[in-house]
Structure 1
Amino acid sequence: MTTPPAKFAFAVALLFGALSSAIADSGLTLVESHQPKAVIVLADAPSPAATAGAKLMADMVFRISGAKLPVIHEADLQKPKAESDPSKGPYVLIGESELAKQLGATSEGLGPGGILIRTLPNALALLGADTKTPSDSGGSRYAVTTFLDEVLGCRYLWPGDSGLVIPPQDTVKVPALDRKFTPVIVERHIRANEYGERIQVGLDQLLLDKKAWDNARKITTPDWFVWQRMGGSLGLRAGDGSIIPREAWTRFLKEHPEWFAMQADGSREPAPGEERLRLCKSNPALIDAIVQEKLKELRANPKQSSVSLITHDGGRTGFCLCPACKALDPAEGRPTEIWTYDHQLSQVQKMQYVSLSDRMFWFNNQIAEGVAREFPDVLFCGSAYSCYTAPPLHIKLHPHVGLRYAGHGLQYATPERQTGLTEWDGWVKAASMVQYRPNFLLAGRREGVPTIYVHKLAQDIRHMAERGLVSTDFDACMQNWSTQGLTYYVLAKLLWDPNLDVDAEIDSYCRSGFGNGWKEIENYFARLEALMNQTAAVNHAPGPDTPNGTIMIPYTPEVLAELRGYLDAADRATAGDAASQRRIAFLRRGLDLTEIEAAAHSFLRRAKELNADEKAEAVKLLDRRWVTMRKIFTEDHYAVNVAGLLQAEDHRFKPLGWKGPSTAARASVATVSAN
């Protein structure tokens, strides 16, 4: 070891002076009998990740033991300390520092987001490369959460107090540790269904406002996504699908209607009121106009490293059917279904066709080639989605075209899953970079029911990680934590480490959160996963929403009684364990709503056959559903995102005659609120 700078000589001497006792104890004592024995040390100019990590470390150790570890900077170590001063150490060195370096703890060899967790003589080092790796500068914070999770036994099952598992300890001791790890998936992103226009639609139906939403989501626990080490960015600029600014589209529509997609009736006008515009991608004048818009964008932002080539994937206006565009589609392409808009009939018409991938990436290549003449190093982001998830047959991608792959659905049957994995393998060979941007987390978004498929998830994430997965953008965590939370939890863990032992992680989830009832809860989740597999065996739909509520079909009264039996047994096993019983009650919230949803969908499937009495019964059930949703929102907000359910369901229960909550239902909620 090199000679330490003079200002650290005393601190280093302290550390080595404690070497023999540290070895004898086979670890470090951070807290003893609720009293702090260690101090957290930051560099004099710490990285943001180290600063955040130190704050989290101090907070969690206090929650665990009631002891407040001081947080100091290296400059505070220059003077000798009194014997009773806790800043004598042991030291918890968070982030890179001169002291950590002198003791042999550095970020050398760590990649983006990588972590080092190492015990040293009288010290514990928790650090990452941080700002040295700008694609993921959160390493020191990740080191702290990894330590808290894997060493101190803290678990964060879902957002909020009931989801944060903190094993109380009078004394906090750290065993000998030496771990280096760099995540292979550099960009780990799961979208969260947060407040926006769509959520407000659901709040309106609940007779609530944004203030109610904000108040319900005020929690004092850490951000769940931050805790689970979501982070990193490869700078793949995706955009919102409009490819160029809205004002340019307005101008193009007025001046060049021939640049827009030809529909089956020969028209090129967008559907009335439609904002998702489709293009005639074979039109050279349109391509040149987009190139000019992209050049303007890059000239105005010279540090921008990528541009989006992504066009709208939805809307009532269909893909272009002009002869020039159709000539780009190989006749031997994979069969698919596309749609067109008939202005006379004012409705969408579906038609059998072939994959549009060759067309889409020919279009992307033309733009990339035009822009790259001036900006040769920029990365272009396309999309493999909708009718163009299969790799192209005859088009070779421009070397700087990356893409977001949005195919592949875990909630579907084995053939569809295998098709998705085969597509992935083809794209990672064809493109410079592929981001995984699936929709399968949206399964059940209109019902909020359990969607557990963690073993499939592990198999497929591992397959992709072994074949080039470096970036994810999951659409989206719908925040139905009591019914889908295990899937969210395991997914986050897999993105950090695709080689995760899923069975061991489920075991840890249940043991840490549910006390003596852990085995019954483990059986509960296993049964839910079996039900999801049952749905997948019959569901071949090519989208995130299961058709006609088929996701509800397995939830018969007999199955619901079986599921309730697992929770009842877990309740009995945890008598006197308030924390575990609170978490069981949290799961029960989701099952209660699932039971109501199953009954409502049973009525809906028979809507045309119902007599007046049955319709009246259905309306009463839907009133109870609404009241249950209000109670979930106010009493256990994170159990099911009920505002999200209502914004997505598109008034599906109107055929049953339900027009919203009755006066009695509204009054019952008001009475509960008043009490």
Structure 2
Amino acid sequence: FNFSSLGNKGYGRAHDWCRLQRLQLDSMQMGGGHGFGDWWDRYHEKYPEIFALQPDGTRSGFPNPHNAKLCESNPKVWELWLENVAEQLANDPNLTVFNASPNDGWASGHCVCENCTAWDDPDGEPRMFNWFKQNEPRPALSDRDVTFANKLAEMLEAKYPGRGYRVLMMSYGHSRPVPVKARPAPNVIMSIVANFYGRTGLVDRGSTRGDTYRRQFEGWAKIVPSMLWRPNTGSPAGWQQGLPDLSIQQTIRDLKDVAAAHCEGIYIDSTWEHWATQGPQYYVMAQLVWNPNADAEAILTDYYTRAFGPAADGVREYFEEIEKARMDFTAANGEAGVFSFPKLYTDDLLKASQVHLDRAAAAVPTDSLFAKRVAFVQAGLTYSKMQMENIRLMEGYWKKPDPAVADRVKQNWAAIEQHVAAHPYAINWGPVRPTTPRMAGLHPDSTPPKTKKPRANDLDLN
């Protein structure tokens, strides 16, 4: 729930709820992102040698400035990183964890100098690397990145002895495989970007061995002194778009397994705060993160009973039927994109869902608090129906543009905006506005969607 953390001023609107659920009582500050996004702009003119050597002999910052890779073996990088730590501490003396994770664009632009390459283990999993007009298989970067983190951790402890400061390093992209020989130092925290949140069997799309994210996570758990689980969620059934993309039972198993692996913390990228469609999942996540040994079934029963009273059975049946359909859909389709969603949210499923909520509404007095809560959930179902109509219309529109269809979709979007505004917190409008990347292709004024063959293991799309 990073969007509603104490310091986040982005999409989050549930700061009070997160506080009451103890989600803001962090004992360790941790970032979910990459560590050097501004370094090209800050340093490339004065210190061009700190950036990754490319096969063509340049240090060009490929693939782009924000994702430029570093020459991790260069002592100047270590020196500048420590200077940045000092600057961070001057701004916030309470910090104890400092990010050293390579920039995104995980397959592109990594350093090929002799010293960096020497940190790679030749027995590491072969992975496909990209540079400007060149592709080549090379060993995974896990040993390199751990060695880099260990060097920084050694220098950090030498400069700040006894303060318990630690280095944060991601296992992400080509550093997802377990390192062959390198082992993280005691003051290195590995942030494991293993995307099995709600999708246990999915395969790392960069793996030439077909390793699943869960297998990679389990491998790291055996060798690290401390780690975080930092999954990307993707949007296999509309998680980002505000649809009831529920994987409650799978998430329960995931959280308990992660806790059993002695994980120190969790950073999920991202929870978008669509409470009317995903509320039960949020609640069980919050409870299990605080106490992973808790009885999840008892948590859910308590949630439905206290929230909905006599309407509890109808609301629970509504969410559970959608969850089952969602799990079957994602098992068959992976992450196929928004224009595949009508295959899940069919007219039959939406009609059955409405029957459950009608039964729930009939079970409580119309002027009761329980009735208001059922209406809140109904707002999520109504939103889902409206979006399904838009998705179907826009799929046809991109094949054959029609001004009448465009007008209809624009009217629908106006109605959706009014509906969301009338039901605060039901759907988080910020992330689902038609201008956002998550809703690409769902408005006639947006960029047409790219044609792409669905891949079940294509999960780094956040």
Q: What TM bracket, shorter-length normalisation?
A: 0.7 to 0.9
For residue 464 of structure 1, report the CA deviation from its aligned partner: 1.8
> Following the alignment from structure 1 to structure 2, what is the Cα–Cα distance between the partners of residues 192 and 387?
31
Letter in 2 for 1:592: T
Richer in strand (by share): 1
- Please give the secondary structure, in 2, of the residue aligned with 1:223: helix
What is the correspondence of 1:466-545 to structure 2 with a 5 Å cutoff?
A: 466-540=260-334
Give the superposition deviation at 1:225. 0.9
Per the TM alignment, residue 321 of structure 1 is displaced from its structure 2 partner at its CA by 4.5
Deviations 1:530-569 (A, max 9, x none): 122123313555xxxx645545531122221221221122
Q: Does 1:437 align with 2:230?
A: yes
Normalising by structure 2, we get a TM-score of: 0.80
Higher gyration radius (CA): 1
Which of 362, 365, 368 does residue 572 from structure 1 map onto? 362
Cα distance change on mapping 1:619 and 1:325 into 2, 3 Å: farther
Alignment-derived partner of residue 172 in structure 2? 385
Aligned to 2:71: 280
Match of 1:307 in 2: 98
Distance 1:447 1:402 in 2: 32
List per-residue Cα deviations over 1:127-176 (Å, max 9, x = no partner): xxxxxxxxxxxxxxxxxxxxxxxxxxxxxxxxxxxxxxxxxxxxxxxxxx
Aligned to 2:4: 192
The CA deviation string for residues 442-501 of structure 1, in whole angstroms up to 9 with x for no partner, is 663542111211111111211121221232233332110011111111100111221232
Residue 381 of structure 2 aligns with which residue?
591
CA contact (8 A) 1:333 1:393 kept: yes
The percent of aligned pairs where both chains have the same amino acid is: 23
Task: Tell me the secondary structure at the aligned position of residue 329 of structure 2.
Answer: helix
**Separation in structure 2 between the aligned mates of residue 537 and residue 659 of structure 1, nearest angstrom:** 30
- Shift of the 251–446 alpha-carbon distance from structure 1 to 2, 3 Å rule, reads closer
Contact map agreement 1:190 1:477 (CA 8 A) in 2: yes
Gap change, CA 1:649 and 1:632, over 3 Å in 2: farther
1:401 lines up with 2:188 in the alignment? yes
What is the DSSP-based 3-state SS (H/G/I as helix, E as strand, rest coil) of the residue aligned with 1:380?
A: strand
Q: Which residue among 627, 652, 657 is the counterpart of 2:440?
A: 652
Task: Show the counterpart of 2:450.
Answer: none
The verdict on how the C-alpha distance between 1:447 and 1:463 changes in structure 2, with shifts beyond 3 A counting, is: same
C-alpha change, 1:427 and 1:292, in structure 2 (3 Å) is same
Distance 1:601 1:334, change over 3 A: farther
Q: Are 1:241 and 2:53 matched, yes or no? A: no
1:621 deviates by 4.1
Contact 2:406 2:444 in 1 (8 A): yes
Aligned to 1:374: 159
1:339 is displaced (CA, Å) by: 4.6
Task: State the SS of the aligned residue for 2:270.
Answer: strand
Q: Distance in 2 between matches of 1:484 and 1:228?
A: 16
- State whether residues 259 and 283 of structure 1, in contact with CA within 8 Å, keep that contact through their aligned partners in structure 2: yes
Q: TM-score, normalised by structure 1?
A: 0.57
1:405-447 alpha-carbon deviations (Å, 9 max, x no partner): 2213224352449933433333333333212222328663542
Compared with structure 1, are the counterparts of its residues 626 and 331 closer, same or farther at alpha carbon in structure 2 (3 Å cutoff)?
A: farther
In structure 1, what residue type is equivalent to 2:171?
A: A
Equivalent in the alignment of 1:106: none
Contact kept in structure 2, 1:193 and 1:476, CA below 8 Å: no
Alpha-carbon spacing, 1:497–1:359, altered in 2? closer, same or farther (3 Å): same
Superimposed CA distance per residue, residues 212-235 of structure 1 (whole angstroms, 9 cap, x where no aligned partner): x9xxx6x9xx91112212243343
Alpha-carbon distance in 2 for matches of 1:411, 1:240: 21
Tell me which amino acid in the other structure corresponds to 1:506. Answer: L
- 1:577 Cα deviation after fit: 5.0
Amino acid at match of 1:270: G
* AA at the equivalent of 1:374: K
**Cα distance change on mapping 1:410 and 1:300 into 2, 3 Å:** closer
| d(CA) in 2 for partners of 1:629, 1:193 | 28
Aligned-pair distance for 1:590?
A: 1.6
1:489–1:350 CA distance, 2 compared to 1 (3 A) = farther
Distance 1:228 1:394, change over 3 A: same
Please state if 1:363 is matched with 2:148. yes
Q: Is the 8 A contact 1:406 1:439 kept in 2?
A: yes
How many Å apart are 1:588 and its aligned residue?
1.9
CA positional deviation for 1:237: 5.1
Provide the alpha-carbon RMSD of the alignment. Answer: 3.7
The residue type paired with residue 357 of structure 1 is S
Match of 2:20 in 1: 227
Question: Which of these residues, 226, 232, 246, is aligned with residue 452 of structure 1?
Answer: 246
The 1-side partners of 2:397 and 2:109 are apart by 31
Q: Give 1:396 deviation, angstroms.
A: 1.6
In structure 2, do the counterparts of structure 1 residues 304 and 494 end up closer, same or farther at CA, with 3 Å as the change threshold?
A: closer
Corresponding residue number in structure 2 for 1:557: 347
Alpha-carbon contact 1:445-1:648 (below 8 Å) kept:
no
Provide, for residues 56-101 of structure 1, a one-character-per-residue CA deviation record: whole Å limited to 9, x for no partner: xxxxxxxxxxxxxxxxxxxxxxxxxxxxxxxxxxxxxxxxxxxxxx
Match of 1:269 among 55, 60, 64: 60
Q: Which stretch has the larger CA shift, 233-242 or 571-580? A: 233-242
In structure 2, list runs of 5 or more residues that go unmatched: 205-210, 448-462
SS at match of 1:576: coil
**What letter corresponds to residue 258 of structure 1 in structure 2?**
E
Structure-2 residue corresponding to 1:63 = none
Cα separation, 1, equivalents of 2:106 and 2:257: 33
Query: Distance between the aligned counterparts of 1:524 and 1:238, measured in 2?
Result: 36
